[in-house]
C-alpha cells in the first residue's frame, strides 16, 4: 500500500533541499515556490492565449494554419474537444501543486519544470501558428512533447510509488497532455512538410501510414514502460479522429489503418495492464 505523507506536514529534509540562499526577514525562501507559481500562470495562460487569439482575430487560426497542408494527414475537428479534458485536468494539477498545503516531493520536482516548459509551449505554438511560422511550430511542439515524455519515462518507478491521489493530480494529467502532443506533433510535421511541398506527390499515404504506425508504437512502448494509462488514451482518440477524417476525404487506406492502430492500442494496453495485475 502506498502511504502519502500528510499534506499539511512540513518535510524538513525535502524543503531543505529545495531552498535558496535568498532571505526575506531572515527566513529562507523555498526555491520551489517560484516554480509552482510559474506553472500555475502557464496553465491558465495556455488556453487564454489560444482562445484570445481566435477571439481577437490576430493572425491565422489553428484551423487555417492546418488547412495549408492537411492533405497528407488530417484529424477530424471533433477530436480536438479532448482539449477540454486536458485543460481541466491540467488546471487541477496546477492548482494542486501551487497549494501551500501540498508537500514538495520527488514527483513534483522531476515533473515541475518540464510541465512548465510544455505548458508554455502550448501558448508559444499558438503564436507561431498565428504568424504562420511553420517550422517554428514543429520545433515548439516536439520540444514540448519531449520535455514531458522523457521525465515521464525516466521516472516511471517513482510515479508508481506515489499514492493514487498524487498520481491523479500529477503524473496522469501530464501523461494525458504528452499523449495528445504525440499525435499532434506528427500531424503538425506532416502538415508543414506538405505545405512546403517536401512530400513527393503520390507519397502522401506512405507518410501518413508511417505516422499512424509511429503513434501506435509510441503508445504501446511508453505505456509498457510507465504504466500511465492516460498516455495512450488521447493517441487512440486522435487516431479515431484520423479515421473519420480519412473517410470524409475518401482516403480509406489511411482511415482504416488509423482505426486498426487505435484497436491495437486498446488491445495492447489492456494486455499490458492485465500482465501487471497477474504479476
DSSP for 115-136? HHHHHHHHHHHHHHHHTT-HHH
Q: Under DSSP, is residue 176 helix (H, G, I), strand (E, B) or coil?
A: helix
Q: Would you give the end-to-end CA distance of the chain in angstroms?
A: 16
Q: At what angle do helices 204-226 and 134-154 cross, to 10 degrees?
A: 30
CA dihedral 193, 195, 197, 199 (to 10 degrees): 40
d(CA 211, CA 19): 44
Residue count of the chain: 279
pTM score? 0.87
d(CA 128, CA 65): 10
Q: Say how many C-beta atoms besides its own lie within 10 A of residue 252's C-beta.
A: 11
| Predicted local distance difference test score (pLDDT) of residue 277 | 56
How far CA 250 is from CA of 94, 242, 244, in Å, comes to 42, 12, 10
d(CA 87, CA 44): 9
Give the CB-side neighbour count of residue 98, counting CA atoms within 13 A.
18
| Predicted local distance difference test score (pLDDT) of residue 55 | 82
Helices (H), the chain: 12-16, 32-56, 62-67, 82-98, 106-130, 134-154, 156-160, 164-169, 171-195, 204-226, 232-249, 252-278
State the cell numbers at 185.
Answer: 506533433
d(CA 203, CA 184): 20
| Predicted local distance difference test score (pLDDT) of residue 122 | 95
pLDDT tens track for 214-259? 999 999 999 999 999 999 999 999 999 999 999 999 999 999 999 9
Low-confidence stretches of the chain (pLDDT beneath 70): 1-29, 276-279
Amino acid at each position: 500500500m502506498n502511504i502519502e505523507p500528510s499534506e499539511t506536514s512540513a518535510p524538513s529534509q525535502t524543503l531543505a533541499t529545495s531552498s535558496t540562499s535568498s532571505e526575506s526577514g531572515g527566513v529562507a525562501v523555498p526555491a520551489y515556490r517560484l516554480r509552482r507559481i510559474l506553472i500555475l500562470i502557464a496553465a491558465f495562460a495556455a488556453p487564454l492565449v489560444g482562445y484570445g487569439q481566435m477571439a481577437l482575430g490576430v493572425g491565422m487560426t489553428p484551423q487555417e494554419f492546418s488547412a495549408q497542408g492537411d492533405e497528407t494527414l488530417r484529424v477530424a475537428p471533433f477530436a480536438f474537444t479532448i482539449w477540454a479534458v486536458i485543460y481541466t485536468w491540467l488546471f487541477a494539477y496546477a492548482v494542486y501543486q501551487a497549494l501551500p498545503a501540498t508537500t514538495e516531493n520527488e514527483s513534483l520536482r522531476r515533473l515541475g519544470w518540464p510541465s512548465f516548459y510544455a505548458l508554455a509551449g502550448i501558448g508559444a505554438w499558438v503564436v507561431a501558428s498565428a504568424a504562420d511560422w511553420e517550422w517554428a511550430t514543429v520545433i515548439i511542439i516536439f520540444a514540448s512533447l519531449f520535455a514531458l515524455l522523457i521525465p515521464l519515462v525516466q521516472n516511471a518507478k517513482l510515479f508508481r510509488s506515489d499514492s493514487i491521489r498524487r498520481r491523479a493530480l500529477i503524473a496522469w494529467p501530464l501523461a494525458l497532455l504528452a499523449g495528445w502532443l504525440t499525435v499532434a506533433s506528427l500531424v503538425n510535421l506532416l502538415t508543414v512538410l506538405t505545405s512546403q511541398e517536401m512530400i513527393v506527390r503520390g507519397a502522401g499515404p506512405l507518410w501518413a501510414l508511417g505516422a499512424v504506425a509511429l503513434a501506435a508504437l509510441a503508445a504501446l512502448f511508453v505505456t509498457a514502460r510507465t504504466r500511465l494509462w492516460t498516455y495512450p488514451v488521447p493517441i487512440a482518440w486522435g487516431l479515431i479522429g484520423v479515421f473519420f477524417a480519412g473517410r470524409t476525404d475518401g482516403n480509406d487506406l489511411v482511415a482504416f489503418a488509423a482505426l486498426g492502430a487505435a484497436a491495437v492500442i486498446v488491445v495492447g494496453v489492456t494486455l499490458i495492464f492485465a500482465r501487471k495485475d497477474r504479476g
